[in-house]
């Protein structure tokens, strides 16, 4: 009888004061999907393998589905271990990094652009930043002050990606010496070559810009991590 009464009390208590979901674990789970997606994205950049492109899309879809479930849990939660808005911002920002990886793949396919060394370098930096995020969010529940190191590493990754972006643009817009010489000499057919070269330049610039935007989303997710550390540490 006593056991039955305890069971009823427990049920009533849980109904009035529901058990708090593991929001720390939820953010880490979102980071894990993003980091896994960025691993595959980097492999795509290194190989140009269409199967890797398909995997990026599949993992991005997995991330979106996870995000939707996380939001439903957040909306139903009676209490949260930190500001509810910060949890929302964190999950959204982490997922956005993976979204930009997918749109970069999609744009490369649409423009029929093959990966180059600049794209690989930028993808590597964004991938490394995704792992810094995963490390930082993983420390929030136990050592939140230590997570600040990872937040800083993530923001530094964005700055390094921007440097790589500017370097890529500098190389991209450097004059093609052969085409320039042929134009000056009035070589027949060179204008068509120059036009095709410029089209290639513009297409690659769009891909570089997408990678730069992915780094911006990474920096935002790192800033949210910093805000959470300030709040709970």
Give per-residue pLDDT as tens, 28-55: 999 999 999 999 999 999 999 999 999 9
Second CATH level (architecture) for the domain 2-232: Up-down Bundle (1.20)
Q: Predicted confidence band at 12 (pLDDT cuts at 50, 70, 90)?
A: very low
Under 8 Å between Cβ of 139 and 31: no
Q: Which residue has the tokens 């093959």?
A: 114
| pLDDT of 116 strictly over 80 | yes
83-105 per-position pLDDT tens digit = 889 999 999 999 999 999 999 99
Residue of 199 and 73 predicted with greater confidence: 73
Residue 145 DSSP one-character state: G
User: At a CB cut-off of 8 Å and minimum separation 6, what does 5 contact?
Assistant: none
What are the pLDDT digits (tens) for 123-149?
999 999 999 999 999 999 999 999 999
212 contacts 162 by C-beta, under 8 angstroms: yes
pLDDT score recorded for residue 182 = 55
pLDDT in the model for residue 178: 61
Across residues 114-118, what is the average pLDDT? Answer: 96
Q: What residues contact residue 13 under an 8 Å CB cut-off, 6+ apart?
A: none
Residue 20: phi and psi, rounded to 5, are -70, 130
Judging by beta carbons within 10 Å of its beta carbon (0-12, 13-18, 19+), is residue 162 exposed, middle or buried?
middle
């Amino acid at each position: 009888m006593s056991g039955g009464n305890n069971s009823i009390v427990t049920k009533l208590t849980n109904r009035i004061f529901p058990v708090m979901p593991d929001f720390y674990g939820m953010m880490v789970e979102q980071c894990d999907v993003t980091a896994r997606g960025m691993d595959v994205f980097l492999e795509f950049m290194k190989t140009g393998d269409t199967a890797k492109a398909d995997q990026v899309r599949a993992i991005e879809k997995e991330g979106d589905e996870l995000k939707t479930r996380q939001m439903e849990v957040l909306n139903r939660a009676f209490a949260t271990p930190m500001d509810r808005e910060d949890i929302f911002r964190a999950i959204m920002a982490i997922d956005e990094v993976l979204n930009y990886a997918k749109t970069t793949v999609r744009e490369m396919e649409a423009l029929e652009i093959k990966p180059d060394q600049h794209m690989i370098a930028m993808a590597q930096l964004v991938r490394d930043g995704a792992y810094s995020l995963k490390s930082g969010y993983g420390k929030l529940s136990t050592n939140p002050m230590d997570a600040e190191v990872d937040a800083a590493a993530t923001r530094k990754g964005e700055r390094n990606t921007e440097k790589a972006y500017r370097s890529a643009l500098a190389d991209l817009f450097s004059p093609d010496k052969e085409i320039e010489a042929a134009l000056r000499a009035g070589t027949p057919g060179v204008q068509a070559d120059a036009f095709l070269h410029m089209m290639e330049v513009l297409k690659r610039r769009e891909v570089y810009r997408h990678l730069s935007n992915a780094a911006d989303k990474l920096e935002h997710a790192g800033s949210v991590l910093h805000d959470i550390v300030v709040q709970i540490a």
